Amino acid sequence: MHLDAKIPSGPLAEKWDKHRFELKLVNPANKRKYNIIVVGSGLAGGSAAASLGELGYYVKNFCIQDSPRRAHSIAAQGGINAAKNYQNDGDSIWRLFYDTIKGGDFRAREANVYRLAQVSNHIIDHCVAQGIPFAREYGGLLANRSFGGAQVSRTFYARGQTGQQLLLGAYSSLMRQVAAGQVTMFPRREMLDIVVINGQTRGIVVRNLITGEIESHGADAVVLCTGGYANVFYLSTNAMASNVSATFRAYKKGAFFANPCYTQIHPTCIPVHGTYQSKLTLMSESLRNDGRVWVPKTPGDKRPPNQIPESERDYYLEEKYPSFGNLVPRDVASRNAKTQCDMGKGVGETGFAVYLDFADAIKRDGKEVIEQKYGNLLQMYEKITASNPYEEPMMIYPASHYVMGGLWVDYNLMSNLDGLFVMGEANFSDHGANRLGASALMQGLADGYFVIPYTVGGYLAGTSRPEITTDHPAFTEATRYVTERTRKLLSINGKRTVDDFHRELGHILWEYCGMSRNDDGLLKAKTLIQELREEFWENAVVPGSSEDFNQSLERAGRVADFLEFAELLVMDAFERKESCGGHFNEAYQTEEHEAMRDDENFCHVAAWEYKGDDTDPELHKESLVFENIELTQRSYK
Amino acid sequence: MTKNINITLKVWRQKGPHVKGGFETYHASNISTDMSLLEMIDVVNEQLTLDGKDPIAFDHDCREGICGMCGAVINGRSHGPEKGTTICQLHMRHFSNGETIVIEPWRAKAFPVVKDLVVDRGAFDQVILAGGYISVNTGGAPDANSIPIAQEIAELAMDAAACIGCGACVAACPNASAMLFTGAKISQLALLPQGKPEAVNRALAMVNKMDELYFGNCSNERECEAECPKEISISNIARLNREFVKAGLVSVVK
């Protein structure tokens, strides 16, 4: 099967304009005849639902939390990139495009990434118009800071709460459309299946998390904005409810899953400290603007940090990467932290931590300046660890944070299933094998505010769809399937909790498919996952009933999906015989232990097609064609 | 330093909105002081599950104090004894060995109980949809730097915008008033030039909606400010009142 990305012809910089002209339009009077389902209310889903409502479509928006304002985008701390060049430091759309492609280790589509850089500036304009209180200079203009993988200052921010502010902006626009009657909200609903009729995606089946009722909803198109699957590692910086279920169920209905092995391990998180721990907390990458990363030069040096003299400290990132220093991309920073700890130079009780030190910045700028820039982050650190980062260096260690993989989409953000659009972290499209800091917010909002309003119209105007109702047998069948699955989960009656299975799955993946991977480990992981999955369906205990508010049942469904999905992730990692970005196979590295790509054989998107529970999925490849930039060994020296 | 403690819990259990609830007692032993309060409840729930009992229902999601999903009254105080902290960031090191901890849901007419500690805060969404936005459609916004905003104004707006909508202010107020929540949004938008064109209608619409939803009025108890996990200032309520009075004077819509 040929995967057609539908990339418009013509010069890179003109593709999106040309495509927008060529896309068919739906006239204003006809828009109100169409219903669109948006699943998820984060930056991608919230902005899409609001923008589509503004255009006149009828939108049904579903979210898993009690209010759309709580989607996990809210936890993004550091900022959002845009190519404004307000700092006069040499930024441009081309540079943002180039940095993003290079940051992704040349495994993303040129055309998508260029469009992302193009619309980045409109996002900032729109967000300011919505009343988002971005940080400003004394003169009243917008302030910027730097993030990893860039040598310009292009990141806009609202203290350490940028995601919160951008999400509340999208949420306010969404609420305005709810008030206008264009959007209907369905909170506390979990999508359990999509409904495909005659090859077209025509609806979803959801569980009402309060009553347990299974509901069917039909539409002309379905937009999935259901986030990423970093929680497959159990411990991650994601919210507790973040899951793979929506995208995985779509995969089982025929949507291709692309590059599942591209997972991002974020370098600056608060280290693991106990088995009871439910999640890990990120410390924004922006801290690396002023914080210096170091470990003792001598392995096993257990002296407190302030007793280790300057000459006995190893500022390994500054040493090894003089031009980017502490601001190397995330995959590079994480792997280096692991290398130092594996050498015995890690600090703290467990030895799995490195220092992030603000002493020099405080000496240079004063405590007030540092507090103004990072106050809420440093306060959060102190709350969790009971250690004062103004007085002793923070301890940090990498943790699962984000996933670049997701459902395959074309240039229109439509999956291989007609009428199923996928946006934000749920798709695979823009970050290649590694995402740069402050680019997730940019992508989510680009997709929702500035891409889907055009491309969904092109789809609706360009196809015909028969009238359907939710009485259609396809809805009945989907309802039967999810009801049966729920019944099965509740009747296992075993002796081990769902969380315990999840914890073990996380250990397997972190050990064999985390920051560093090898073929033997991946094969072992595959077997371990299969065994664990088998045990789950025989020995898990899921209390309560299906007709009630039952959080144990919700978790069980998600973990059951993770147990299937994890195997796909491991298979994808096994098949990619190269190292690139977040996927590091030990057999493929340079002499300096950097990721070594194989452009001849692996310059492609790996898109997996589900073939049944007892059959291996089929791999399809979309070749990545680079017409505008030259593929090079990534260097941040 | 990390240590382990034993505690007794008295937790409000209620099967549904129209069922009578009551306190149940649980014992949690060997609790690490590095755990958050929610991680401690996770441990209790694991045991309840293995014992064939119904685990305690509670809302939570990000567990880093920003989503606003979690919230409960701990020993009589919204989000517990620590200032500026949600319960997902409230660590067990703030409790002592042998202590009894009482955990209840938010109690307010506008927030009916769904189950155990879970309440329905949909009323907050209703208040926002009455006018907590700037009416701007996607596309067509001028360049972001075309409206300079004094740094101190942007900072004040940000102070107000930091609200996470958790509902602690309502639970803490003897009148179950939502003035701090509403005042924070009205302030954020009234302070910024972008929000001024609609300031009059916004203040009227949001305050009227608040009354309609059975939130009480403000009688200056200041409990909301004391318990707010984001330390939103009560001066936002003063600004709400000014905006509301101003709106009453100048509004052309009666």
In contact, A15 and A111? CB cutoff 8 Å: yes
Answer yes or no: do B66 and A86 touch at CB < 8 A: no
Q: State the pLDDT at residue A636.
A: 87
pLDDT in tens, A356-389: 999 999 999 999 999 988 888 898 899 889 999 9
Write the DSSP assignment of A498-554 as a string of letters. Answer: HHHHHHHHHHHHHHHHSSSB-HHHHHHHHHHHHHHHHHHHHHEE--S-SSS--HHHH
Distance CA A423, CA A37 (A): 13
Report the first-to-last Cα separation within chain A, whole angstroms.
41
Are B8 and B67 within one domain? yes
Residue whose C-alpha is closest to residue A41's, from A228, A167, A163: A167
A27, burial (CB in 10 Å: exposed 0-12, middle 13-18, buried 19+): exposed
Helix runs in A400-497, H state only = 440-445, 452-462, 473-490
Q: Which of B39, B61, B161 sits opposite A133 (nearest CB)?
A: B161
Distance CA A463, CA A338 (A): 51
High-pLDDT (> 90) share of chain B, %: 95
B18 contact A CB<8A: no
Are B91 and B210 within one domain? no
Answer yes or no: do A495 and B115 touch at CB < 8 A: no
Residue A63 in tokens: 């979210």
State mean pLDDT over A209-229: 98
Distance CA A326, CA A406 (A): 29
Looking at chain B from residue 66 to 95, which residues have their Cβ under 8 Å from any Cβ of chain A?
66-69, 82, 84-85, 89, 91, 93
What positions of A carry a catalytic annotation?
A: 330
A237, burial (CB in 10 Å: exposed 0-12, middle 13-18, buried 19+): buried
Answer yes or no: do B194 and A54 touch at CB < 8 A: no
Answer yes or no: do A72 and B141 touch at CB < 8 A: no
Name the residue in chain B with its Cα closest to that of A493. Answer: B52
Q: State the pLDDT at residue A373.
A: 82
Q: State the pLDDT at residue A148.
A: 85
Residue whose C-alpha is closest to residue A222's, from A40, A403, A56: A40
Domain with B97 in it: 4-114
Out of B55, B89, B114, pick the residue that ends a domain.
B114
- A608's enclosing H/E stretch is strand A604-609
Interface test with A, best of B138, B145, B166 (most A CBs within 10 A): B138
Specify the pairing of strand A354-357 against strand A313-314: unpaired
Looking at residue B145, which CATH number applies to its domain? 1.10.1060.10
Answer yes or no: do B138 and A66 touch at CB < 8 A: no
The alpha-carbon gap from B145 to the nearest alpha carbon of chain A, in Å, equals 6
- Is domain A473-623 in CATH 1.25.40.10, yes or no? no
- φ/ψ region of A151 (left if φ > 0, alpha if ψ in -120 to 50, else beta) reads alpha
Longest dimension (CA), chain B: 64
Q: State the pLDDT at residue A633.
A: 85
Are B97 and B137 within one domain? no
* Percentages of chain B per state (helix, strand, coil), in multiples of 5: 40, 15, 45
In contact, A260 and A608? CB cutoff 8 Å: yes
Out of B114, B136, B162, pick the residue that ends a domain.
B114
Separation of CA A116 from chain center: 16
In contact, A42 and A72? CB cutoff 8 Å: yes
Place of tokens 């660590």: B91
pLDDT in tens, A101-139: 999 999 999 999 999 999 999 999 999 999 999 999 999
B145 contact A CB<8A: yes
A375 contact B CB<8A: no
Residue whose C-alpha is closest to residue A306's, from A251, A269, A338, A347: A347
Residue whose C-alpha is closest to residue B62's, from A192, A161, A422: A161
Q: Which of B53, B89, B148 sits opposite A140 (nearest CB)?
A: B148
Q: Is the pLDDT of residue A617 over 70?
A: yes
Provide the Cα torsion A451, A453, A459, A464; round to 10°: 170
Q: State the pLDDT at residue B1.
A: 65
Are B110 and B147 within one domain? no
Q: Where are the beta strands (DSSP E) in A137-254?
A: 155-156, 183-186, 189-197, 200-208, 214-218, 221-224
Distance CA A558, CA A243 (A): 6
* Cα-Cα-Cα-Cα dihedral sign, residues B34, B36, B41, B46: negative
ipTM over 0.95: yes
Looking at chain B from residue 215 to 244, which residues have their Cβ under 8 Å from any Cβ of chain A?
none
Distance CA A131, CA B198 (A): 12
- For A106, list phi and psi in degrees, rounded to 5: 55, 45
Looking at residue B103, which CATH number applies to its domain? 3.10.20.30
* Cα-Cα-Cα-Cα dihedral sign, residues A120, A121, A126, A132: positive
Residues of chain B with C-beta less than 8 angstroms from the C-beta of A137: 151
Distance CA A248, CA A230 (A): 13
State mean pLDDT over A595-612: 97
- CATH number of the structural domain A266-401: 3.90.700.10
pLDDT in tens, B109-122: 999 999 999 999 99
In contact, B116 and B12? CB cutoff 8 Å: yes
Name the residue in chain A with its Cα closest to that of B82. Answer: A383
Q: Please state the domain count of chain B.
A: 2
Distance CA A100, CA A117 (A): 9
Q: Which of B34, B114, B154 sits opposite A549 (nearest CB)?
A: B114
Specify the pairing of strand A604-609 against strand A406-407: unpaired
Are B155 and B221 within one domain? yes
State mean pLDDT over A593-602: 95
Give the number of beta-carbon pairs within 8 Å between A and B: 210
Interface test with B, best of A31, A59, A64, A74 (most B CBs within 10 A): A74
Q: What average pLDDT does chain B have?
A: 96
pLDDT in tens, B150-190: 999 999 999 999 999 999 999 999 999 999 999 999 999 99
Specify the pairing of strand A189-197 against strand A183-186: unpaired
In contact, A586 and A532? CB cutoff 8 Å: no
A383 contact B CB<8A: yes
Out of B114, B149, B168, pick the residue that ends a domain.
B114
Residues of chain A with C-beta less than 8 angstroms from the C-beta of B2: 273
Residue A56 in tokens: 């006149």
Residues of chain B with C-beta less than 8 angstroms from the C-beta of A227: none
A493 contact B CB<8A: no
Residue whose C-alpha is closest to residue A79's, from A424, A379, A442, A330: A442
Write down the domain spans for chain A. Answer: 266-401, 473-623
Q: Is the pLDDT of residue B254 over 60?
A: no
pLDDT in tens, A408-462: 999 999 999 999 999 999 999 999 999 999 999 999 999 999 999 999 999 999 9
High-pLDDT (> 90) share of chain A, %: 93
The Cβ-side half-sphere exposure at B115, using a 13 Å CA radius, reads 14
Answer yes or no: do A273 and B34 touch at CB < 8 A: yes
The Cβ-side half-sphere exposure at A57, using a 13 Å CA radius, reads 27
Residue whose C-alpha is closest to residue A49's, from A66, A27, A71, A80: A71
Residue whose C-alpha is closest to residue B165's, from A280, A181, A68: A68
The sheet with strand A292-296 has its strands ordered as A263-269, A394-403, A354-357, A292-296, A313-314
A266-401 with A473-623: one CATH topology?
A: no
Are B110 and B125 within one domain? no
Are B140 and B85 within one domain? no
In contact, B229 and B65? CB cutoff 8 Å: yes
In contact, B231 and B84? CB cutoff 8 Å: yes
Distance CA B102, CA B75 (A): 5
Residue A609 in tokens: 């097609």
What DSSP character marks residue A427?
B
Looking at chain A from residue 564 to 623, which residues have their Cβ under 8 Å from any Cβ of chain B?
none
3-class DSSP state of A90: coil
Q: Is the pLDDT of residue A265 over 60?
A: yes
Q: What average pLDDT does chain A have?
A: 96
Output A138-142 pairs: Cβ under 8 A, ≥24 positions apart: A138/B151, A139/B148, A140/B148, A140/B149, A140/B150, A140/B151, A141/A86, A141/B145, A141/B148, A142/A84, A142/A86, A142/B144, A142/B145
Residue A246 in tokens: 């929506």
State mean pLDDT over A509-521: 96
In contact, A53 and A184? CB cutoff 8 Å: no
Name the residue in chain B with its Cα closest to that of A54. Answer: B137
pLDDT in tens, B43-93: 999 999 999 999 999 999 999 999 999 999 999 999 999 999 999 999 999
B55 contact A CB<8A: yes
Q: Is the pLDDT of residue A541 over 80?
A: yes
The alpha-carbon gap from A171 to the nearest alpha carbon of chain B, in Å, equals 9
Residues of chain A with C-beta less than 8 angstroms from the C-beta of B82: 383
Interface test with B, best of A57, A69, A378 (most B CBs within 10 A): A69
Provide the Cα torsion B68, B73, B74, B79; round to 10°: 30
3-class DSSP state of A203: strand
In contact, A84 and B144? CB cutoff 8 Å: yes
Are B154 and B99 within one domain? no
Residue A362 in tokens: 């405080």
Interface test with B, best of A124, A130, A238, A547 (most B CBs within 10 A): A130
Place of tokens 């049966």: A484
Residues of chain B with C-beta less than 8 angstroms from the C-beta of A128: 141, 144, 147, 194
Are B140 and B239 within one domain? yes
Q: State the pLDDT at residue A380.
A: 87
Are B139 and B244 within one domain? yes
Q: Which residues contact A549 (CB under 8 A, 6 or more apart)?
A: A209, A210, A211, A212, B16, B57, B114, B115, B118
- Angle made by CA atoms A27, A28, A29, in degrees to the nearest 5: 95
Q: Which residues contact A46 (CB under 8 A, 6 or more apart)?
A: A61, A68, A71, A73, A167, A170, A171, A173, A174, A448
- Angle made by CA atoms A384, B62, B49, in degrees to the nearest 5: 95
- φ/ψ region of B69 (left if φ > 0, alpha if ψ in -120 to 50, else beta) reads alpha
